[in-house]
Each structure stands twice: as structure tokens, then as C-alpha cells.
Amino acid sequence: MFMETNADISILIVDDSDMTRETLRVILRSEHYQVVGEATDGDVAHELAIKLKPDIILLDVVMPKVSGLEALKSIKLVMPAVLILMVTANKDQDTVSEAVHSGISGYIVKPFNAKKVLDSVASVAAKVRFNRKGQA
């Protein structure tokens, strides 16, 4: 059977913490995902999402200027098909609920480990590939 590599999946990482972005980048690249960009706040995330058209966005909830929830809503307005995983230490039920209603594809809870990140991204990547086949 033909085994797809992860190189066909493009990912945008959005987090105000340099260390978190670097950790996510290293984890994702170790499994050959294509990290196409990084942003430190929701405004830049929105601009990069439109410019780079990633398959998946890893989006922090708490960031300066524009929050992850605000960015989520604005990105989903212009790119309804993009799959977004929220990355957060915030387990507040209202936040989780708002993110789910706004169309996230899943959650990665901080502190995370490589397995949790890769499992979450792999399940969303499978949806990306499924959607591509449906459009082919």
C-alpha cells in the first residue's frame, strides 16, 4: 500500500512564546510535516493564514493584542475549510466551548509532549487528506 508522508501537510504555528513555537516546530519537523510559517499574535496569524494557505493551524489561545479565539473567528470567516488546533493551558469551560463553536478541529493542552502533539496533528492531517480526495 502507498504510504503518504507528512510532507504534503503544511502547518502554521501561532504562539507568543518563542520556546513553545520552537518546540512545536521541532516536534512537527521530526515527523516531516511542512512548517510553512510562524506568528506571535492573532493579527499576524490572520495575515499569514491568508498568504500561506496552510492545511492546519496550531493556534495559541492567550496572546497579546489579538487572542487566539478572535484570530480563530477571523481566519474561519475567510478560510472556512482550514483545520485549526487550539494550543492552550486554559481549560476554562467557556473558552473551550467558544472555540468548539467557532470551528476548531481539536485541542492540544499545555504542557504537551511530542506524542500528544503528533497524535492530534495526525488525526487532523487525516481529515485534510480525506477532504483532498473528496475534491479530486
pTM summary value: 0.93
Tens digits of residue pLDDT in 1-31: 445 689 999 999 999 999 999 999 999 999 9
Q: What's the number of CA atoms in the CB half-sphere (13 Å) around residue 113?
A: 1
Question: What's the domain range around 122?
Answer: 6-128
Tell me whether residue 135 is in a domain: no
CA 115, CA 92: separation in Å to the nearest integer?
Answer: 23
CA 81, CA 19: separation in Å to the nearest integer?
Answer: 29
**Which CATH number fits the domain that encloses residue 20?**
3.40.50.2300
Tell me whether residue 100 is in a domain: yes
CA 51, CA 131: separation in Å to the nearest integer?
Answer: 21
